[in-house]
Structure 1
Amino acid sequence: MSRLVVVSNRTADPRKAAAGGLAVAVKESLQQTGGLWFGWSGKLRDSESGTSGESDIKLQTVGNVQLATLDLTQEDHDTYYLGYSNKVLWPVFHYRLDLANFNVRFAAGYRRVNQLFARKLMSLLRPDDIIWVHDYHLIPLATELRALGCGNRIGFFLHIPMPPPLIMAAIPEHEWLMRSLFDYDLVGFQSEADVTHFAGYVESEAKADTLPGNRLRAFNRTLRVGAYPIGIDVDEFASLARSRDGVEMFGQIREEYSRRRLLLGVDRLDYSKGLPQRVHAFRELLAKYPENRNSATLIQIASPSREDVGAYDDLRVEMDSLCGAINGDYGELDWMPVRYIHRNVARKKLPGLYRASRVALVTPLRDGMNLVAKEFIAAQDPSDPGVLVLSRFAGAAEQLKEALLVNPYDTQGTALAIQRALTMSIEERTARHTALMQRIRQFDVHWWSSSFLADLSSTESSGDFRAVVSSSANLLN
């Protein structure tokens, strides 16, 4: 049986609770199959240390998973991670060209670290390994592996949105990036909309041919693409709601807010999450539907995120101001309209918080999937469930059609949807929840992993890259 090799920007201890959607999903996949997880350690090293100036690989075995990590220099971290990944790719892929910084130094660092990852990974690979590369940090990794002679099957999954062709084309290196994806055997996206955007790009920019079997032919290579919406482990998350921490959190929140109806937002502090627009919509709710005053409370958790990027400092200041203004204008001695929490909340406590909330507000301006929406559904009491208000611009909206779908840019429309959620009958809430629960069970994290890996295993490589590698090897010899 082939070994699964997962490559991501960061690794995580599979024994510990993971915070991000990527880490949770990868952990679930590897715990089932075992294998190797390769990535950055999260640590920085002196640029002069290591063999030939490069970091040594650190190996650690945790259960049936082997972790392989390497350190980065400060320069590589600043250009590859803070620079190209988070100041170019993240804003552009989330449609925020105004926040992108196309510094050529960032692009050079991004290529350099992907080459470093490829060199280090090659020393660990076996001939029959199946390699699964994750997310925007490592788009060109397959190209670098192929150049070193790697003939393994390699799949790639993009966890963030794929932008429309014209937005993608704003990146100076866009052709190189998209060409790099054709060195994979299978590329997966979160939604059908993302697949459409990618196909539209390669058709317009590279004159790609569409072939049977979800395949695209461009750059003298053939690539299989597909939508694989990521899910959660529904039973595991539901069990967290019944655990001691979950029950204690549920009881604590219910007691403290016994006279209130809770609205909940759980996000990273990120400009893609639509947090200011959400707060404006809540203010509109209080202004237009005064019966919610002294009754509805918004708990907004905004976990710290990339605080060394300037745009996030501006967002934090804006959120502090908006939440303070609502509390000042509408608050009473015994009622604070918004409870704004800028810190991490332990994952084991979240199910109890979800379960105690009447409405979840998942209203990003753009999101690859957003697993908070699915976690909220899994944590509900099926006999008295809460209501999910979901942005139509989240990847989850393609699946979760029984949620109340909103345009987060439409403040009045979002306020109306929240009012509808707060006043919805138990019959309608139950019917919507039943349908949503069935869907997240059907397309859970195990389906996501097994369906992607099954398709990767059955995908026939075009053989083009092997010819290129062979020619390169002959030239070197």
Structure 2
Amino acid sequence: MSRLIVISNRVSLPKAAGAAGAQGGLAVALNSALREHRGIWFGWSGQETAEFTGHLDMQRNDGVTTATIDLEAQDVDEYYNGYANRTLWPLFHYRIDLTEYDRNFGEGYERVNERFADSVLPLIEPDDLVWVHDYHLLPLGSILRDKGVKNRMGLFLHTPWPPTRLLASLPFHERLVASMLEYDVLGFQTTEWLESFLHYVQKEMGLKVNLDNSIDYKGRRVVARAFPIGIDFTEFTEAANGEEAREAYQRLKSSVRGRKILIGVDRLDYSKGLGERFESFSRFLGEHPHMAGSAVLLQIAPPSRGDVASYQQIREDLERKTGHINGAHAEVDFVPIRYVNRGYPREQLAGFYRAANVGVVTPLRDGMNLVAKEYVAAQDPEDPGVLILSQFAGSALQLKDALLVNPHSVEHVAETIKQALDMPLAERKWRHARLLASVRDEDVQHWREQFVRALAGNDKDAGVPQTQEKAA
């Protein structure tokens, strides 16, 4: 069996036995694949160094080998805070108004990808499979090819892929996409993002896309497919039934004193639609005064990317909106929005999800959004909550029995909140049963097995055209 080399911006170190906290489902799946394939996970350590040396910090924990490098402060500023998160991230989430084009950002992005390639190159053996992750490292495969790597290489993009007209606003966009075509497999979260990519290579590059969505490029066949990511269903449901989750459940339930609970859990990011969500809840409270004191919105939003100005602005805006809404609707013993700027271990989140009558997942644009799937997995099948889900989240293609909403329409979301809170038990149960089947059957292990099979060239579905229905 070939070894698997996973390359990502950051590396998730396996938890030592008995360590506090929990790893995310992606880390669990990749660690499982790495153990199975005797592989290595390579990436940035998250630490800065005064001068880049390319020194590899090799560790082995719980059967998984990791290799990390430190980056210079200028690298972090230009590659990570700059091109990755001030250029590509907003553009890929359709926020061209927030997209910054700076030559230094682009140069830093290419420099760090070159440094990644030089550092990982000695670790790659002839029969290894190389699996690169996300928008931070789009050109890495091309750089490795230039350095003589002939291995099978694949890229999985966790974010959306923008429409052609938006992508064409990016300087040197064709060069970036051409570098991606040096991979053997290109994976996207949904068929929508896949179709946007295929449209680009046809219209902007004049390439032929075959019936199976493969692309003929420089005498090679590049497979492009949708691989919808899932959660670690078994691990998460076990966590939801554990002692820590039960304590979190009781803590939240007792604090609201019989009121209905709506919950949102999102990284603090403009793509998550938190401002629109708060306005929708305020609209609901204003239009249904008889219910105004009976429902609480708990919004957990850990800060992220604090060095980027747009993230500082979204935090200030949300704090202002929270104060305004709570000032308008609060009573001496009741605050309608609980806005928490910190993260919680997944075991506690599972308990909070289970306690919530409504899960509110309303991003303006999202590659997949696993919070929606975690909320479904955490519910009591005999008394499940209701999932409100943005039609612009990748997960909406699979979770069709959620209450799908347009997050830009405050009125629509407010009406849907009322529908969710009023939903009878029978409807809640049949909706949840169908959602649960999707979350269980298309979990993160299924996702990584499908991708690795395609990467190894053993994918029986590689020649089958994909449709929205197939991805769903």
TM-score (norm 1): 0.93
Shift of the 187–174 alpha-carbon distance from structure 1 to 2, 3 Å rule, reads same
Counting only pairs closer than 5 Å after superposition, residues 450-465 of structure 1 correspond to structure 2 as 450-458=449-457
Matched, 1:374 2:373: yes
Matched, 1:149 2:148: yes
Q: Give the equivalent residue in structure 1 for 2:9.
A: 9
Q: Give the equivalent residue in structure 1 for 2:45.
A: 41
Matched, 1:383 2:382: yes
Shift of 1:33: 4.0
Counting only pairs closer than 5 Å after superposition, residues 44-193 of structure 1 correspond to structure 2 as 44-47=48-51, 53-193=52-192
Q: After superposition, what is the alpha-carbon deviation per residue over 1:113-147, rounded to whole angstroms, capped at 9, x for unaligned?
A: 11111111111111111010000000000001000
Shift of 1:31: 4.6
* Contact 1:179–1:219 (CA under 8 A) maintained in structure 2: no
* Contact 2:31–2:64 (CA under 8 A) maintained in structure 1: no
CA distance in 1, matches of 2:264, 2:28: 20
CA distance in 1, matches of 2:285, 2:36: 47
Shift of 1:254: 1.4
Paired amino acid for 2:122: S
Indicate the SS of the match to 1:175: helix
* Contact 1:373–1:396 (CA under 8 A) maintained in structure 2: yes
Q: After superposition, what is the alpha-carbon deviation per residue over 1:425-458, rounded to whole angstroms, capped at 9, x for unaligned?
A: 1000000000010011111001000011111111
Q: Give the equivalent residue in structure 1 for 2:465.
A: none
Paired amino acid for 1:247: R
Shift of 1:25: 4.4
Shift of the 314–200 alpha-carbon distance from structure 1 to 2, 3 Å rule, reads same
* Contact 1:21–1:371 (CA under 8 A) maintained in structure 2: no
* Contact 2:25–2:232 (CA under 8 A) maintained in structure 1: no
Q: Give the equivalent residue in structure 2 for 1:402.
A: 401
Shift of 1:291: 2.4
Shift of 1:29: 3.5
CA distance in 1, matches of 2:299, 2:280: 13
Question: Please, which moves more after superposition, 289-298 or 65-74?
Answer: 289-298
Unaligned stretches of 5+ residues in structure 1: 48-52, 461-477
* Contact 1:6–1:132 (CA under 8 A) maintained in structure 2: yes
Equivalences, count: 455
Shift of the 277–20 alpha-carbon distance from structure 1 to 2, 3 Å rule, reads farther
Shift of 1:108: 0.6
Paired amino acid for 1:8: S
Q: Give the equivalent residue in structure 1 for 2:283.
A: 284
Shift of the 313–329 alpha-carbon distance from structure 1 to 2, 3 Å rule, reads same
Shift of the 444–22 alpha-carbon distance from structure 1 to 2, 3 Å rule, reads closer
Indicate the SS of the match to 1:280: helix
Question: Please, which moves more after superposition, 4-13 or 53-62?
Answer: 53-62
Counting only pairs closer than 5 Å after superposition, residues 376-455 of structure 1 correspond to structure 2 as 376-455=375-454
Q: Give the equivalent residue in structure 2 for 1:352.
A: 351
Question: Please, which moves more after superposition, 79-88 or 284-293?
Answer: 284-293
Q: Percent identity?
A: 46
Counting only pairs closer than 5 Å after superposition, residues 307-318 of structure 1 correspond to structure 2 as 307-318=306-317
Matched, 1:261 2:265: no
Shift of 1:352: 0.3
TM-score (norm 2): 0.94
Q: After superposition, what is the alpha-carbon deviation per residue over 1:389-422, rounded to whole angstroms, capped at 9, x for unaligned?
A: 0000000000000000000000000111111000
CA distance in 1, matches of 2:457, 2:290: 58
* Contact 2:15–2:23 (CA under 8 A) maintained in structure 1: no
Q: After superposition, what is the alpha-carbon deviation per residue over 1:319-354, rounded to whole angstroms, capped at 9, x for unaligned?
A: 011111111111001111000001111222100000
CA distance in 2, matches of 1:272, 1:21: 21
Aligned Cα RMSD in Å?
1.4
Shift of the 193–459 alpha-carbon distance from structure 1 to 2, 3 Å rule, reads same
CA distance in 1, matches of 2:365, 2:180: 22
Indicate the SS of the match to 1:179: helix
CA distance in 1, matches of 2:136, 2:27: 14
